[in-house]
């Protein structure tokens, strides 16, 4: 009788443990994905959309990665890239031929690269990683992509062209004008020093003759202003005529 009671107690304990095992669910691990909140790029750049994940289970052929896109202008969310033991790139839409897989599931990386970014690519990109039995936690992360137009900068060749066609000619013209101004002042001083033959005394006759034979400089020939050139020639003719009359 005593042994029979012991067997009954043991059997009840086994049944109780079995019921507890059926009622309490088996614990599962959580998976966590991480992506940068914002990414900025210029039109025409190749943009890296980073997605990393942490899972307690080793990545197997059951693991899958989905990338979805929602336009910044509004509209439904669409899946444009899928990975599950093999790549399934987009076959239609704006991303066709422009998505490159750069992930490594063994290292916890599920990133992609968007080639030749355009303004129409602005929007929210979501990365979802599933790695059974890790099905809970935060399997999805989001990144907002902002693509701006590229502004052409001033290159060294452009600066050289500006110097060659604007600054250098301006400097040359300034030098020519400066030379003309100097020669004009000299001619004005020479004209003020001219005296009429009537006012010339006998003692100054020799000085007057020396003025007749004064050599003309290159500045007088090439840089003489037209307003004073006629006065200068008239003065030379008057001096020559007066000298000949004295002779």
131 and 209 both lie in a single domain? no
Angstrom CA distances, 199 to 14, 187, 203, 237, stand at: 150, 21, 11, 17
The residue ranking higher by pLDDT, 147 or 7, is 147
| pLDDT tens digits along 14-31 | 565 555 444 444 445 689
- DSSP 8-state secondary structure symbol assigned to residue 5: H
129 and 56 both lie in a single domain? yes
Read off the pLDDT of each residue in 94-118 and give the average, rounded to a whole number.
94
- With CA atoms as reference, report the closest residue to 243 among 216, 212, 214: 212
| pLDDT tens digits along 30-72 | 899 999 999 999 999 999 999 999 998 888 888 999 999 999 9
43 and 117 both lie in a single domain? yes
Tally of domains in the chain: 2
143 and 171 both lie in a single domain? no
């Amino acid at each position: 009788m005593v042994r029979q009671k012991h067997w009954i107690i043991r059997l009840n304990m086994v049944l109780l443990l079995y019921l507890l095992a059926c009622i309490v669910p088996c614990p599962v691990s959580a998976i966590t994905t991480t992506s940068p909140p914002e990414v900025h790029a210029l039109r025409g750049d190749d943009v890296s959309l980073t997605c990393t994940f942490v899972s307690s289970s080793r990545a197997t052929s059951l693991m899958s990665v989905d990338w979805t896109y929602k336009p910044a202008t509004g509209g439904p969310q669409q899946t444009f890239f899928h990975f599950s033991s093999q790549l399934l790139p987009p076959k239609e839409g704006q991303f066709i031929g422009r998505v490159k897989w750069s992930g490594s599931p063994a290292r916890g990386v599920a990133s992609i690269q968007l080639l030749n970014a355009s303004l129409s690519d602005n929007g929210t990109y979501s990365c979802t990683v599933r790695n059974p039995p890790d099905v809970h936690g935060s399997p999805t992360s989001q990144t907002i992509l902002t693509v701006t137009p590229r502004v052409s900068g001033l290159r060294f060749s452009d600066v050289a062209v500006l110097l060659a066609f604007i600054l250098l000619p301006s400097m040359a013209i300034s030098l020519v004008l400066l030379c003309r101004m100097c020669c004009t002042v000299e001619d004005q001083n020479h004209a003020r020093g001219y005296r009429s033959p009537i006012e010339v005394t006998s003692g100054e006759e020799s000085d007057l003759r020396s003025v007749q034979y004064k050599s003309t400089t290159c500045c007088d020939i090439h840089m003489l202003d037209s307003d004073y050139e006629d006065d200068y020639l008239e003065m030379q003719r008057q001096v020559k005529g007066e000298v000949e009359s004295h002779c």
